[in-house]
Every structure is written in structure tokens, then in C-alpha cells.
A and B are shown apart, each in its own frame.
Chain A
Amino acid sequence: AQSVTQLDSHVSVSEGTPVLLRCNYSSSYSPSLFWYVQHPNKGLQLLLKYTSAATLVKGINGFEAEFKKSETSFHLTKPSAHMSDAAEYFCVVSEGGGGNKLTFGTGTQLKVEL
């Protein structure tokens, strides 16, 4: 069975400073990993995905994530935070192996301060 662990439930950064949201995964298969963002009272928007191609994945809004098999990690980063980045971020793993149900991490609430 697959799972993801988001190491921080809350992260606070100043506008213009780097963002790091940490995620570790556990999967029996070669995993597919995703980051989704959820703004308050909104749906889930796909930021980026890793599906066994390049290990450094670039997403929307300047976000990127690096798949590190040796560390079983898939951390999300952004060089410079913007106020509009304040939201809940979910690291997600897909079952793979023919099944596609998603397993979500518990989420990281990102706060961006002036």
C-alpha cells in the first residue's frame, strides 16, 4: 500500500523568500506523485506531477519538485513566495500498478506574510 507523509502541517514564510514543503512517500510500486493546491473554499488544482520521467518536475506558478528515490522524498519548492501562494498543499501518491486511486497526505498550510 502506498502512503505519503507531509512533514509540516504549517509553514510560514515572508513574501519573496523561498518555499519548501516536505513530503516523503512509501510505495510498493514505482510511484506516481503529485502536488495539488487548495485555496480556501476552492477545489483542488494540480500543481505538478512525477511519472518516472525527469526527476526534477516543473509545475505551474513557479513551483517545482524533485523526486529522490534514495530519500523517498518529493519536496515542493518555489524560489520566491507570493501572497497568492497562501493555501493548503497536498502531496499525493497514485496507487499505480493498474489502479489509480489517489492517497493524499494530511496537507501543509502555507502562510505568506508581508
Chain B
Amino acid sequence: AAGVIQSPRHLIKEKRETATLKCYPIPRHDTVYWYQQGPGQDPQFLISFYEKMQSDKGSIPDRFSAQQFSDYHSELNMSSLELGDSALYFCASSPPGGETQYFGPGTRLLVL
């Protein structure tokens, strides 16, 4: 069965650079969620999109923005990167009317 696809899987950036993370949800899923998991931490909700509109917002820094496109894929844009942004970034998707979120493998971001 198709799963959530995230790219890239690994990313190394310098401080103050920008990064773009991509997420391709499971086919026919209409809701996408982004989570950040710091080293040794539990995942923290950042933001979600339903039918291309932002549906909820969590602890997402103002330096970050995200959107969902017409094909339902989503991109998380991160600017002015800081050392503390080094983390595993997960994307999850859920089907119409469904509550269960299915997670991608994550993008590991390292900021040097």
C-alpha cells in the first residue's frame, strides 16, 4: 500500500539558510499535518492543512510557513535557520472524515 512520502530524507544546512521540506500524502487523503521531533523529544504539532486551507496551527515559528497544493502535496518552508531547528520533521496524512494519521518516514534536518 502507498505510504506518505517525504523528501528529502536528510538535509544539512548552515545557520541563516532556508530549507524546503516536501510531503506527498497517501492518495485520496485530503489532510496533511506537520510535526517536529527534537532530539530525545516527543513530536510536536506544527501546522495542518485540509483541502488546501490551513486548518490548525501549533507551535510553528514565524520563520516557518507551509502550504498545501492542488494535488494535496504540502511544503514546509523554513527560513533563517537556527541550530535549534535541527530535528526530525514528520508529515502525516489522513483520509476524508478519518481521524487516524499515517506518518511518513520523516526528514532529518541538521543545521550547522
Complex alpha-carbon distance, A62 and B100, angstroms: 20
Majority secondary structure, B binding face: strand
Interface pair A102/B90, CB less than 8 Å apart: no
A102, A103, A106 interface centre (most CB from chain B within 10 Å): A102
Q: Count of chain A residues with Cβ under 8 Å from any Cβ of B?
A: 22
Question: Does A84 touch B at the CB level, under 8 Å?
Answer: no
Interface pair A102/B101, CB less than 8 Å apart: yes
Could you say which residues of chain B place their CB within 8 Å of the CB of A42? 105
Interface pair A44/B90, CB less than 8 Å apart: yes
Interface pair B42/A44, CB less than 8 Å apart: no
Complex alpha-carbon distance, A70 and B58, angstroms: 30
Interface pair B43/A104, CB less than 8 Å apart: yes
Question: Does A45 touch B at the CB level, under 8 Å?
Answer: yes
Interface pair A100/B99, CB less than 8 Å apart: yes
Knowing A51-B99, A101-B33, say if A43 contacts B104 (CB, 8 Å): yes
Complex alpha-carbon distance, A34 and B92, angstroms: 14
Q: Which of B44, B90, B99 contacts A32 (CB 8 A)?
A: B99
Could you say which residues of chain B place their CB within 8 Å of the CB of A107? 42
A44, A45, A46, A103 interface centre (most CB from chain B within 10 Å): A44
Interface pair A100/B101, CB less than 8 Å apart: yes
Question: Does B31 touch A at the CB level, under 8 Å?
Answer: yes
Interface mask (B51-62 → A, CB under 8 Å = 1, otherwise 0): 000011010000
Closest 3 pairs between A and B when the two form their complex, measured CB to CB: A104-B42, A44-B103, A43-B105
Interface residues in chain A, defined as those with a beta carbon under 8 Å from any beta carbon in chain B: 32, 34, 36, 42-46, 49, 51, 90, 94, 96, 99-107
